[in-house]
A and B are shown apart, each in its own frame.
Chain A
Amino acid sequence: MGKVGAVAIIGAGIAGIQSALDLADGGFKVYLIDSKTTIGGRMAQLDKTFPTLDCAMCIVSPKLVEASRHPNIDLILYSDVTSVSGTEGNFKLKLLKKARYVEEDKCTGCGICVEKCPSKVPDEYNAGLSKRKAIYLAFPQAVPRVMTIDAAHCLYLTKEKCGVCKKVCAAGAVNYEQKDREIELDVGSIILATGFTPFDPLLLKQYKPTHPDVITSMQFERILSASGPTQGHVLRPSDGKAPKYIGFIQCIGSRNPHIGRSRCSSVCCMQAIKEAIIAREHDPNLDITIFNIDIRAFGKGFEEFYSRAKKEFGIKFITSRPPEVQVDSAGKMFVRYEDLNEGKIKNMPLDLVVLSVGLDPSPETKKLASMLGLDLDEFGNVTSLIDHPLETNAPGIHACGVVQGPKDIPDTVAQGSGAAAKASALLATERGTLIKEKIYPKEKAIPEQPRIGVMVCHCGINIGGVVNVPAVVEYAKTLPNVVHSEEAIYACSKDNQEKIITLIQEKNLNRFVVASCTPRTHEQLFQNTLKDAALNPYLFEFANIREHCSWVHMNEKEKATQKAKDIVRMGVAKSNLLAPLSTSKVPVTQTALVIGGGIAGMTCALDIANNGFPVFLVEKEEKLGGLLRHVTSLEDGRRSSDIITPLIRNVMSHPRIQVFTGTQLAELKGYVGNFEGTLDTKGTKHEIKFGVAVIATGANELVPSGYYNYGARNIITQLNLENALENGFEKPPENVVMIQCAGARVPERPYCSRTCCVEAVKNAIRIKKETKASVYVLYRDMRTYGVWEKLYREASSLGVVFLRYSEEKPPVVKDSTVTVHDLLIGDDIEIEADLIVLSAPMVAPASNVELAKLFKVPMDKNGFFLEAHAKLRPVEFATTGVLLCGTAQAPKLIDEGIAQASGAAAKACVLLSKVEMETDAMIAVVDEKLCIGCGTCVKVCPFNAPQLIEVEVNAEEVVYLAKKSRINPAMCKGCGSCAASCPTGAISPRGFTAPQIKAAVRAFSGIVEVPS
């Protein structure tokens, strides 16, 4: 029996959604299943995301819309998997779809039933802080926008009373007779992405979780949210008053073996810092303290964010976790903590306590694991191996996101993509067998007269809290050719996409302007909406009144409103002159180039090759293996050779992978789908053609010169130690001192290198097990995040001594004596060491600069490559067709690098799975009548797109041969440099023509010109 070219994804949070999109874009049928009524998972509940403070709903909402609109994704919601049979390639799933008592195809989501429903129920979306109705939509931007009746609380379904929702529903969607129904699916692979549930603090009664002013971090997230119970105002639940003193208590339900939760939840420190910063932004008078054991700010940009919280926002961090929350005789809350500076126990009164609750496995994970035959680890995560983070013990079943272990959004998204690569490799022969193409309605012809629609977005309170949105809406109505203008709470939500389509159709609009956020993230979403409305997508124009207005003029409401009007006017002025643009198709070279032969590059190459596409794998060193060649043991106790040797063997023997060692990419030209490169192997040149490129150039360990006497005898780095542990010490040490953050978290290198704490603890355990030496680890924050907290516990139990030092008083190394000011005892300790091991950070290779120039991709200020989006596009660059993975992006552990590599492979396969791709529509075109053939454009263009050709000109009486410029649409990138240099104005860059720019400039002063 053949395999089935379809995949079932269980869990429709951001991990499942990402997997679904990558698989469906790559040619597979996807069933996206969730027990909830909507997709979006936990991320949809967040207010903002760290460390960029992006509005969570704003960045996730387009993904929700995309998933729900995708022709090859079927959403199967409010459904539980009841049985699974079959094997890899051929699974059969049975599901029970619960009755919503609302017909999905009839409900318009208008919400009138919700308004009239008399029965109130605690609202799960607002973490129980507000009430919803018995008939409800999970949250305002929910996808799909279909109501559900909560059968347990509906008066009709429980007592046969009421029935008002059925009466008021004009669409006839309410159906009290609806029954649960069984669904059967045939799929080739299953991806489990069931995420987490926040720890329930009722298990820890000492923190008074039932006190109204003791709330969880998830509840505080809702309080901070514009769509939350207090519309984003920081108010305490007991009396609705603004608190002054807020205390976060970390590790509630984490790092606590007494309640069976010994692992670290990885995200709570950053979530607390984020929430503290947002709270301070909302109310600058708040006094906020975060009580913690360690602050684990280990991800990209996290340490810098932590630093800002302290310096810019005055958030206090106290290294002491209060054992309980107490209430004094006057009813005032307080906590007891240890002040390490003074060595005293103190009380701190608090108006609001936020319990930073950890991530527990979802309740359905256990049930599904036993149904699917999956092993769970001691923490309830689906078991995986460091070298196979996305694979379970059951062939054909993959896992991604928090179900595999606690992690934040970008790691979850990378894993989501990665699981897609694994599933699609398994089903590669079935690619394209069960899919249908998205067919947009035929574009309608555009009459001369523009009819412009405007939608002005509140973005919750992100815009509406500053800009007077209704005033902008009214103003837009006064502008020439605007025939309709209205406001929206979230213009990007699914219901508003449908609204735009309806408006375009009903009001016969032929231009649309959305005033909301930035085109850099949301333009495509609205362009696709225009396509759905049978309008050319380039008849859309954005007016950025959030990033460029409400967010930067928060205290100047009137001026911000005036500016928003100006921005809308300029957008409308340009939209008057927009014209439909068309694209053409070019063939795709269905081959990938992977640069970097470390663990990430090799994994990525292998995944792409297993998906059926040829790969060039280029490594500048003579050997494959990268930094991992210098590591000898893994966190799980295996040898690193256990994973690297088979990987190298698989890569070298793969028929679709061509390996070039000792080689660098010397030259590059072309564009996505059609790159041409020159490889240089010690002077020997190879010309290659490829469609996509993956940068996996890794990182190096810093040579910590200038730190702690490095260079003196017996002072080595962790990688040196790995080598010595494997190959023997010159003289076995008796006293080993490890110094963490040697060259990291310092002004010249402000980032945390993420891996060094786990690395140090792993090596400390090995020393304790293999020698008789004493080991001291001097640290600032012990960042053994996630499941690796168990290594920290093990090291402590083996007698490794951990001493905490502060940023202000780092240890001093003099000869063989290390002096450290220990924060816990508040005194200096001298240690005689015969081996000092510096935990030096990973640093970006200097050669990244050259590569960044070749590919025109950005680097961050630490020299690592900068991904397209910190949260949702972790393995892509903004430049289409160029991807990244592994430590080239930022320091990370092996399993994290591997997951990213698979994620980048999935993105590559989406592009490579197409035989041809569309060229850009926004390119420059030449008006031959105006061209004088001077050739300036040819000289100016860096892409060789314009060429002079000889044509016959018939000018009144005279016929002659003349040179004219022609621009190759496949090579033009639309920068417009040629147009700005053309002496006769013959060249028009589409989308940014001279009249369009002039119209925007003219509208700046208040005049909107109408096209003649």
Chain B
Amino acid sequence: MSESTVPQAKTNGWEPKIVAFCCNWCSYGGADSAGMGRFQQPASTRIIRVMCSGRIDPLHVFNAFLEGADAVLVTGCHIGDCHYVNGNDKTKIKYKYLESVVQQLGIEKERLQLNWISASEGEKFANFIRDVTEQIKKLGPSPLKPEGVV
């Protein structure tokens, strides 16, 4: 993409681009339920499906930032509901580590968020996307965004 798109990105029309990691059984289903319930949400987010949030390697999250994500969402089943017994509990622990690294890199904490969303919580999913998008709009593009990426 041309470099001229970068200054435009700072204008009011700028839309954040967000990566959401969703687990197959709960939060991906929650995103599906948002669709089925027609819960409207900003078109800011791109979902990457994994079987369990426990699959999300911190490296995947850093990769997403390095590719220009303005925020990265880690989502899974509510604690206790994991289809794989306790994958999300392990996610929680890894997430603490992720948070500390993100902090050391100087990225605003709003850019990395964890949320538990069940397959029936379509409205919650939509609200989450709306809230995060609003927060990131206020912050502007991610400082890690590579040159030339909108």
Which residues of the partner chain A approach B47 to less than 8 Å between Cβ atoms? 544, 548, 567
A281 at the interface (CB under 8 A from B): yes
B116 at the interface (CB under 8 A from A): no
Chain B 38-74 against A: per-residue CB contact (8 Å), 1 yes, 0 no? 1111010011111110111111100110011100000
Chain B 10-39 against A: per-residue CB contact (8 Å), 1 yes, 0 no? 000001010100001100110110111111
Q: Which residue of chain B has the shortest Cβ distance to A521 in the bound complex?
A: B32
Q: Check B57 against A994 for contact (C-beta < 8 Å).
A: yes
Partner among A562, A878, A1006 whose Cβ is within 8 Å of the Cβ of B1? A1006
Which residues of the partner chain A approach B34 to less than 8 Å between Cβ atoms? 547, 551-552
Partner among A555, A556, A976 whose Cβ is within 8 Å of the Cβ of B55? A976
Which residues of the partner chain A approach B64 to less than 8 Å between Cβ atoms? 1001, 1004
B112 at the interface (CB under 8 A from A): no
Q: Cα distance A853–B25 when bound, in Å? A: 15
Q: Check A548 against B32 for contact (C-beta < 8 Å).
A: yes
Q: Check B54 against A858 for contact (C-beta < 8 Å).
A: no
Q: Which residue of chain A has the shortest Cβ distance to B43 in the bound complex?
A: A559
Q: Which residue of chain A has the shortest Cβ distance to B119 in the bound complex?
A: A858
Q: Which residue of chain A has the shortest Cβ distance to B78 in the bound complex?
A: A858
B115 at the interface (CB under 8 A from A): no
Q: Cα distance A553–B41 when bound, in Å? A: 6
Which residues of the partner chain A approach B82 to less than 8 Å between Cβ atoms? 856
Q: Cα distance A974–B87 when bound, in Å? A: 11
Q: Check B50 against A997 for contact (C-beta < 8 Å).
A: yes
Interface size class of A (residues with CB under 8 A): 35 or more
Q: Check A974 against B51 for contact (C-beta < 8 Å).
A: yes
Q: Cα distance A566–B18 when bound, in Å? A: 12
Q: Check A942 against B86 for contact (C-beta < 8 Å).
A: yes
- Count chain A CB atoms within 10 A of each CB in B51, B58, B80, B118 and give the residue with the most: B51
Partner among A551, A559, A943 whose Cβ is within 8 Å of the Cβ of B36? A551
Q: Cα distance A319–B64 when bound, in Å? A: 56
Given contacts A940-B90, A975-B52, A1001-B63, contact A551 B38 (CB under 8 A): yes
Partner among A856, A860, A979 whose Cβ is within 8 Å of the Cβ of B85? A856
Q: Check B32 against A518 for contact (C-beta < 8 Å).
A: yes
Q: Check A994 against B84 for contact (C-beta < 8 Å).
A: no
What's the minimum C-beta distance from A313 to chain B, rounded to whole angstroms?
11
B92 at the interface (CB under 8 A from A): no
Q: Which residue of chain A has the shortest Cβ distance to B129 in the bound complex?
A: A552
Which residues of the partner chain A approach B86 to less than 8 Å between Cβ atoms? 942
Q: Check A1001 against B49 for contact (C-beta < 8 Å).
A: no
B120 at the interface (CB under 8 A from A): yes
Given contacts A544-B47, A547-B31, A980-B94, contact A552 B149 (CB under 8 A): no
What's the minimum C-beta distance from B89 to chain A, rounded to whole angstroms?
10
Which residues of the partner chain B approach A519 to less than 8 Å between Cβ atoms? 49
Q: Check B55 against A563 for contact (C-beta < 8 Å).
A: no
Q: Cα distance A690–B29 when bound, in Å? A: 29
Q: Check B55 against A989 for contact (C-beta < 8 Å).
A: yes
B99 at the interface (CB under 8 A from A): no
Q: Check B37 against A53 for contact (C-beta < 8 Å).
A: yes
Q: Cα distance A878–B82 when bound, in Å? A: 13
Q: Check A977 against B83 for contact (C-beta < 8 Å).
A: no
Partner among A281, A552, A940, A998 whose Cβ is within 8 Å of the Cβ of B60? A998
Chain A 979-1012 against B: per-residue CB contact (8 Å), 1 yes, 0 no? 1110000000101101001101110111100000
A54 at the interface (CB under 8 A from B): yes
Q: Cα distance A980–B21 when bound, in Å? A: 13
Which residues of the partner chain B approach A555 to less than 8 Å between Cβ atoms? 40
Which residues of the partner chain B approach A29 to less than 8 Å between Cβ atoms? none
Which residues of the partner chain B approach A975 to less than 8 Å between Cβ atoms? 51-52, 54-55, 83-84, 87
A161 at the interface (CB under 8 A from B): no
Q: Check B84 against A973 for contact (C-beta < 8 Å).
A: yes
Which residues of the partner chain B approach A1001 to less than 8 Å between Cβ atoms? 19, 48, 60, 63-64, 67
What's the minimum C-beta distance from B64 to chain A, rounded to whole angstroms?
5
Q: Check B55 against A552 for contact (C-beta < 8 Å).
A: no
Which residues of the partner chain B approach A1004 to less than 8 Å between Cβ atoms? 17, 19, 46, 48, 64, 67-69
What's the minimum C-beta distance from B128 to chain A, rounded to whole angstroms?
12
Q: Cα distance A866–B43 when bound, in Å? A: 30
A145 at the interface (CB under 8 A from B): no
Partner among A281, A520, A998 whose Cβ is within 8 Å of the Cβ of B32? A520
Partner among A53, A520, A570, A922 whose Cβ is within 8 Å of the Cβ of B48? A570
What's the minimum C-beta distance from A986 to chain B, rounded to whole angstroms?
13
Q: Check A53 against B52 for contact (C-beta < 8 Å).
A: no
What's the minimum C-beta distance from A1000 to chain B, rounded to whole angstroms?
5
Which residues of the partner chain B approach A231 to less than 8 Å between Cβ atoms? none
What's the minimum C-beta distance from B130 to chain A, rounded to whole angstroms?
10
The 12 listed contacts between A and B (C-beta, < 8 Å) are A520-B29, A548-B31, A548-B35, A551-B38, A567-B47, A856-B81, A856-B84, A980-B58, A994-B59, A998-B63, A1001-B67, A1005-B17
Chain A positions within 8 Å of B, measured between CB atoms, are 52-54, 281, 518-520, 544, 546-549, 551-556, 559-560, 562-563, 566-567, 570, 853, 856, 858, 860-861, 866, 878-879, 922, 940, 942-943, 973-977, 979-981, 989, 991-992, 994, 997-998, 1000-1002, 1004-1007
